[in-house]
Amino acid sequence: MIFDSFNVGRYEAAALDGCPDGYMQLSEMGRPYTGGSWCGSSTGYAVYYSETSTVTVSVKLFHSPLHAASPFEFQLRYKFVSHDEAVVRFGSVGAPLERGEVVPGTYCSRNYYECYRKRCRLQSPNYPGMYPRNVTCYLTLRQKTIPNCKHAMISVRQESEHKMQIKRAVTMASLSKTGKALRAWRDCTGERDHLIFYDGSSTDDPVLVKFCGGDWLPRVVSR
């Protein structure tokens, strides 16, 4: 789905739900309901890819005289893309990408094994389009085979700026706005989308880094 224009309500961080005047929600058949919403205005290229057979778009508006000057705009196009055509997401027929194994019952969690044999690709849900709102994905990388007298270390990085986009919008909602400045640790407030790298298989393990902005990801290495 390609969003040609989007101006639905406004985003307000102080509001209980963040979208006091209205919002858009997307739900996909066979996936858990997240309750995430989009609101405010968007500029630039905004695309939503889905791997399911049915996507439901819901738009809800609340009449607000105080903000009636903000015009409602909503226009989208859609098309169907075959699996063979979606090479950015899945790779080519002859060279498919290693995308891990889906964890049953979750929206987007995956397990990756033995990434030394094949380069693993960690992707946000619906990559290369915008990812869903209000959803948490757990991507676990495991190295089972370790040679004698060796210590396994796992490295994650992304140096291509067009492949690393974390939404920033704290004071302005957007489907597509991103920041180029590298942001981590204290910059990652509650309103920001973020990545947390744990040195282990659970959220109780030590944190290697908390990352929430920038168009590239420096190398993160397990201990």
Divide the 223 residues of the chain into consecutive groups of 10 and give the mean pLDDT of each group: 92 79 92 90 87 94 64 92 93 93 94 91 92 93 87 88 67 46 81 89 94 85 89
Domain of 49?
Answer: 2-77
**pLDDT of amino acid 172:** 37
Residue 31 covered by a domain: yes
Phi-psi region of 92 (alpha: psi -120 to 50; beta: other; left: phi over 0): beta
What is d(CA 34, CA 137) in angstroms, rounded to the nearest whole number? 12
Residue 37 covered by a domain: yes
**pLDDT of amino acid 91:** 93
Residue 221 covered by a domain: no
Most distant CA pair in the chain, distance: 71
Instruction: Tokens 């509650």: give the residue.
Output: 190
**pLDDT of amino acid 175:** 47
Residue 168 covered by a domain: no
**pLDDT of amino acid 168:** 53
For residues 194 and 210, is the Cβ–Cβ distance under 8 A?
yes
**pLDDT of amino acid 11:** 86
What is d(CA 71, CA 10) in angstroms, rounded to the nearest whole number? 11
Strand, helix or coil for residue 89:
helix
Q: How many domains is the chain built from?
A: 1
Phi, psi of 27 (to 5 degrees): -130, 145
Q: What is the pTM of this model?
A: 0.82
